Amino acid sequence: MRLKAHLGLSAALLAFVSTTAQAQETGANGGADATTAATDDIIVTAQRVSQSLQDVPISITVYDQSQLDNKNIVSASDLATYTPSLSVNQRFGPEKSGFAIRGFVQDAGTAPSVAVYLADVPAPRAQGQTPSGNSLGPGAFVDLANVQVLKGPQGTLFGRATTGGAVLVVPRKPTDNLEGYVEGSVGNYDLRRIQAVANLPLADTFKVRMMVDRYKRDGYMENHSGIGPKAYNDSDYIAARLGVLADLTPSLENYTLASYSYSHTNGYASRLVGCVTDPALRSTGQARWAPNGCNQIARQDARGDGLLDVEVSNPDPKQQLRQMQFINTTTWQATDTLVVKNIASYSDFRERSDFNLNGDNFVYTSPPLSVTSPLLGQQVSYTTVAAPKNGYNSNQWTFTEEFQLQGHAFDRKLDWQAGAYLEKSGPNGWNRTFSQVFLRCTDRDALRCVDPLGIGSLADNVTQFRFSTYAAYGQGTFNLTDTLSITGGLRYTIDKQKGIGEATRYRFSAAGLATRTCNDSLRFKGPTGAALVVTDRVQCHNEISQNSKRPTWLAGIDFKPSPDLLLYAKYSRGYRPGGINFSNLGLETWEPETVDAYELGAKATLRGAVRGYVSVAAFYNNFRDQQISATIIGKPNSGVSGAAGVINAGKSRIQGVEFDSSFRFFDSLKLDLGYTYLDTKVISVETPTLPADSPFASITPSSAPGDPLALSPKHRLSASLHYTVPLDESVGEIAFGGSYTYTSKQVASLATPTRFGVLGATNLVSADISWTNIMASNIDLSAFASNLTSEHYFVGVGNTWTSGGFENQLVGQPRMYGLRLRVNFGR
């Protein structure tokens, strides 16, 4: 019955789009200028060539730079706030967010389910103990032509295999105009920002465009522990981009793009929200920490803390992210019907972090931990993850090379593309991360730790990862008639991964004496069967490979009964490679996932009294061998607090409807409206069996049969309204507007009680006002505010209820507001 309802809704929307387009076309023929459609300026590259948005048979949401500015979009999480179908996994903070589209989520350690591209090149690859790289660096949303969110598998034409979709970030290329601006911003939480853009046409055939962005804002999560910083969730970065465009000959163009970003913050902090109070449930195992959780919550309540107050005991937290990328694109118009393109890139990603994983400020207590003086009442870490002082959690280079041919044949009835793609990624050095569990450490690097409980440990996770991707692809669209065309595409991808691990684990006495063993107690055993005692990490050397190869494809049919209406149907296969994580003993690897995606869509261009566009898509996905997170519980006294592992979990079904539109009512009023209905269901889950000698006791998948998928709200609505005041040019242009986004409740994790694992519905409102060309000058002034109603809401959960007897959640961004002043030149 539910499927019939979905099909009925989809059919109704498709009929509405078709009827609207035909009615608008009739009106346009009555006298409206066909060049006045609001979509004329929306050019996208979703099929690797420049096309009008409404001519592309893909469900796409597009933002130009003015829309990004009006909505104050600074980070990946900001972009997801306003985009139906797009979500972010913020478990490890907003700066390390991974995108999710239509229920396809990237969990810790997995390859992206949504690939991010800058100028047609994937984001720098990296892998560490927590999600790293593979996404947008700070400052990415400045000086852009547009941002395109492509929904559904795009595995034929794009380099990195994914199942969910792609986010294309398209920088503005150098132009023939001498132009630019300098802009300063101030706002609450002591926001200070300055950015500058300059376009320099140094010669008719040689142009340069430069951008720099410096951003600094205090944190909004106030820390009451008296230890470490005053606040978390701050922002402090510098970003720069340089584009050089050279017309070597009339038919040969070379475009070089260099980007750099560096961020240094206190990282994120989560808030304790619940604890186990039943003595019978917290008398054994790791749940002995529940009283500490309850004590911290009692302190929060006594202070009258709100959702933006935390109590974290990390003395020196940090999150340093450095990202560089160099891209060179050479385009040769060989003939009127053949274009040869080569895209080469090199990138480097480095992360150095030190953070308390669960937002705790625990102390040694008695009872139930049976600790005596002098440690009684002293801080103890439940779980802290940190790089060595001079090391990196993740340190990876990536090289990509793509050779592409684009052409036309059979009197331009056939448009085709073909190419080959290579990606190589390797370590600059060792990835190294300390995982401090149930210990009090004054200097991890020097092994100055004590463990009066006898259950703690310090894991020294030392890894290297190498990735190789080889792919060949081809796709063509054949125009059977002037109104009917068919498309077919095929890609074959080979993914190879190799991991090297030399992880050890230190156990300490109450006096601080350390014993070192191999972290992998399954492969490296001593004479008694216990973990092997070692003096050097090389004694624990381990290598694991995970290889896969899959075809992906696309088959579609497009029908254009009029120039302003596109109807399409398509079937595509998506694939995401497996992966490696040395921390999950006995579960170090997981297999690829695949999806069969079916989509029906319609796109209409509106002309006449109301201009704009309407797009609707209905989709159904069969999802197999889905990669999902699972909470892995450590055995009592194993020195392991538990882990967030990845398993392949049977089958899921994803179906829904997407609606995207823009309407311009006379020249001054514009309405953008988007909506997504998403219905997801886990069909089957197969939980792997742990080895008998594993330090882990059990596996709890984040989903069970019948559950919805994580980060997949059933309803998502986004509406933006902007009005430009009709004024004389001598006054300038004044515009104001606002946005509203509704997100229904969604699952973050079902491995914890639903009151924590299911995130509540949100209603977020933003507003902006601008005055450009003030009194015919080159000065612009604008104001912005996001989360205008100051709604407090959660965006993630820590999953520590089963393993620790308490739970923590991550809080969404509060109200942000500010002013911008821009001085333009050359316009």
Polymer length in residues for the chain = 827
Q: What is the rounded distance in angstroms from the CA atom of residue 507 to the CA atom of residue 515?
A: 5
Q: Is the dihedral of CA 196, 816, 663, 6 positive or negative?
A: positive
CA distances from 674 to 5, 10, 59, 62 (A): 20, 15, 12, 11
C-beta separation of 101 from 109 below 8 A: no
1-10, 271-280, 384-393 — most confident range: 384-393
10 or 249, higher pLDDT: 249
Q: What mean pLDDT is predicted for residues 765-779?
A: 98
The 3-state DSSP class for residue 7 equals helix
Q: What is the rounded distance in angstroms from the CA atom of residue 228 to the CA atom of residue 384?
A: 14
Confidence at residue 285, expressed as pLDDT on a 0 to 100 scale: 54
Tokens 């997170």: give the residue. 629
C-beta separation of 26 from 20 below 8 A: no
pLDDT tier at 750 (50, 70, 90 boundaries)? confident
Cα–Cα nearest to 140, from 75, 214, 205, 218:
75
Q: Report helix, strand and coil shares of the chain as percent, to nearest 5.
A: 10, 55, 35
Q: What is the rounded distance in angstroms from the CA atom of residue 362 to the CA atom of residue 497?
A: 39
Residue pLDDT, tens place only, 345-375: 999 999 999 999 999 999 877 566 666 657 7
**The pLDDT of residue 778 is above 60:** yes
Confidence at residue 785, expressed as pLDDT on a 0 to 100 scale: 98
Residue pLDDT, tens place only, 50-92: 999 999 999 999 999 999 999 999 998 999 999 999 998 887 7
Q: What is the rounded distance in angstroms from the CA atom of residue 503 to the CA atom of residue 541?
A: 8
**The pLDDT of residue 8 is above 60:** no
C-beta separation of 168 from 154 below 8 A: no
Confidence at residue 650, expressed as pLDDT on a 0 to 100 scale: 84
List, in order, residues 6 or more apart from 775 with CB less than 8 Å away.
730, 731, 732
pLDDT tier at 32 (50, 70, 90 boundaries)? very low
Q: What mean pLDDT is predicted for residues 130-146?
A: 86
Q: How many helices (H) and strands (E) does the chain have?
A: 6, 50
38-47, 128-137, 641-650, 682-691 — most confident range: 682-691
Angle at 731 (CA atoms; ends 729, 732), nearest 5 degrees: 65
Residue pLDDT, tens place only, 248-259: 999 999 999 999
286 or 218, higher pLDDT: 218
Confidence at residue 56, expressed as pLDDT on a 0 to 100 scale: 97
Confidence at residue 195, expressed as pLDDT on a 0 to 100 scale: 98
**The pLDDT of residue 284 is above 80:** no
Task: Quote the tokens at residue 556.
Answer: 């579609």
Task: Quote the tokens at residue 648.
Answer: 């392949």
Q: What are the strands, taking DSSP E only, across 158-205?
A: 165-171, 179-187, 191-203
List, in order, residues 6 or more apart from 809 with CB less than 8 Å away.
270, 271, 273, 756, 794, 796, 797, 798
Confidence at residue 3, expressed as pLDDT on a 0 to 100 scale: 47
Q: Percent of the chain at pLDDT above 70?
A: 91
List, in order, residues 6 or more apart from 54 with CB less than 8 Å away.
39, 42, 564, 566, 603, 604, 605, 613, 615
Domain 2-502+541-825 - what CATH class? Answer: mainly beta
Classify strands 779-786 and 43-44 as parallel, antiparallel or unpaired: unpaired
Confidence at residue 525, expressed as pLDDT on a 0 to 100 scale: 87
List the single range of 37-41, 340-344, 681-685 with lowest mean pLDDT: 37-41
C-beta separation of 83 from 676 below 8 A: no
Q: What number of other Cβ atoms are within 10 A of residue 570's Cβ?
A: 21
Q: Is the dihedral of CA 122, 123, 125, 127 positive or negative?
A: negative
Classify strands 484-501 and 457-479 as parallel, antiparallel or unpaired: antiparallel
List, in order, residues 6 or more apart from 526 with CB less than 8 Å away.
517, 532, 533
Residue pLDDT, tens place only, 194-209: 999 999 999 999 999 9
Amino acid at 641: S
Strand partners, 798: none
CA distances from 487 to 52, 405, 515, 606 (A): 17, 17, 63, 26
C-beta separation of 233 from 220 below 8 A: yes
